[in-house]
Structure 1
Amino acid sequence: MKAVAHQPVSVAIEASGYAFQFYSEGVFTGSCGTELDHGVAIVGYGTTTDGTKYWIVKNSWGPQWGEKGYVRMERGIKAKHGKCGIAMEASYPIKTSPNPSRREISKDEL
């Protein structure tokens, strides 16, 4: 969750199930497995007024799907792989080198 607080996180999920395919709104708590078959991006997280924790996930299926192209996926579940396998294959960049020093660039360098 630390990474999601600073940047989008690329993840794989199982998206082939009926419940996910026809998701339209609310926190997705439907049935799904862990046969990863679709890439999405976690772009945030939240908690509903009743205490349900969720990930805000951007899908690539366009704004007509889900909540304008997004799904709120249940998080904090007992399964270690997360809902639809969302915790199995996460990736995000990590910066390990220092920033370059600032200097003027001449026209010849462009």
Structure 2
Amino acid sequence: MNAVINQPVSVAIDSHEFHFYTGGVFDYPCGTNLNHVVTLVGFDTDDDGDPYWIAKNSWGDRWGEGGYIRLKKDVPDKKGHCGLAMTPAFPIII
């Protein structure tokens, strides 16, 4: 979360269930068979106060919410929803 505050973060995810996503917070069950990369660009909470990540996908602006997906955040699994916390990548300035 601290990295996303300062910059986009690339994450590998299991996107098998994403094909029919049209909007809302994606909280459907998914695995950790990492097969796609998205870019986390922010986070927020929905009207019920449930947190989510905002991710930019590469499938074009006709997919999802104008090319973005909202992914459930703060899940019990340390691997993150759909495995998004398994392999984050972002630059560090030394």
TM-score w.r.t. the length of structure 2 is: 0.97
Equivalent residue, structure 1, for 2:15: 15
Equivalent residue, structure 2, for 1:108: none
Question: What amino acid is aligned across from residue 29 of structure 1 in structure 2?
Answer: D
CA distance in 2 between partners of 1:95 and 1:32 (Å): 34
Moved over 2 A (4+): none
CA distance in 1 between partners of 2:38 and 2:88 (Å): 10
Cα distance, 1:48 vs structure 2: 1.0
Higher relative contact order (CA 8 A, sep 6+): 2
Report sequence identity in percent: 52
Structure 1 unaligned spans of 5+: 97-110
TM-score w.r.t. the length of structure 1 is: 0.83
Local SS of the residue matching 2:33: coil
Q: CA RMSD in A?
A: 0.6
CA distance in 1 between partners of 2:45 and 2:76 (Å): 17
Equivalent residue, structure 2, for 1:3: 3
Number of equivalenced pairs: 94
Tell me the alpha carbon deviations over residues 14-58 of structure 1, each in whole angstroms, 9 at most, x when there is no partner.
Answer: 0123xx211100100112100000011000000112011000000
Q: State the structure with more CA Rg.
A: 1
Which structure shows the higher strand fraction?
2
1:51 counterpart (49, 52, 68): 49
Structure 2 unaligned spans of 5+: none
